[in-house]
């Protein structure tokens, strides 16, 4: 099934719904069966700021996801890490507030494999 307006799937948020990054740079829940939007767009960054948000991982319960915020031309290392990472936890519902994901152990080599 083609997901209209979806440029990349971040992960599953329900039995038949996925979280997608859209061509406008926001994120949106899509119905995987019909290919249609199943929720309002979720903006993480303002396109006017000159930065982008890459969706990395959805929580097991589908209520939040992790993004990496960076310059669009930031150097990407072979292991998919970006220079000067800015990780955020974002709710999958519109209007909720993102929180910074900070820690001494998070750096340019951080890769998220699972979330428990």
What pLDDT, on the 0 to 100 scale, is given for residue 1? 54
Segment (H or E) for 21: strand 17-22
What pLDDT, on the 0 to 100 scale, is given for residue 88? 92
Higher local confidence (pLDDT), 103 or 51: 51
CB neighbourhood size of 67 (10 A): 24
Owning domain of residue 62: 6-100
> Does residue 110 belong to any structural domain of this protein?
no
> Does residue 1 belong to any structural domain of this protein?
no
> Does residue 49 belong to any structural domain of this protein?
yes
What pLDDT, on the 0 to 100 scale, is given for residue 30? 93
CB neighbourhood size of 39 (10 A): 16
Number of domains in the chain: 1
Instruction: Give this prediction's pTM.
Output: 0.83
The pLDDT tens digits of the residues spanning 33-46 come to: 998 999 899 999 98
Give the strand pairing for 52-58 and 27-31.
unpaired
| Rounded Cα distance, 23 and 13, in Å | 19
Q: What is the DSSP string of 23-78?
A: TTS-EEEEETTT--B-S--B-SS-GGGT-EEEEEEE-TTSSEEEEEEE-TTPPBPT
> Does residue 105 belong to any structural domain of this protein?
no
Report residue 78's pLDDT band, with 50, 70 and 90 as the boundaries.
Answer: low
């Amino acid at each position: 099934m083609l997901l209209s307006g979806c440029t990349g799937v971040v992960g599953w948020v329900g039995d038949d719904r996925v979280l997608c990054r859209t061509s406008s740079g926001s994120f949106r829940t899509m119905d995987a069966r019909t290919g249609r939007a199943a929720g309002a767009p979720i903006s993480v960054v303002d396109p006017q700021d000159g930065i982008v948000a890459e969706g990395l991982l959805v929580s097991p319960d589908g209520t939040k996801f992790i993004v990496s915020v960076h310059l669009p031309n930031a150097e990407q290392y072979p292991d998919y890490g970006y220079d000067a990472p800015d990780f955020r936890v974002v709710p999958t519902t519109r209007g909720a507030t993102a929180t910074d994901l900070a820690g001494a152990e998070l750096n340019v080599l951080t890769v998220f494999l699972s979330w428990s």
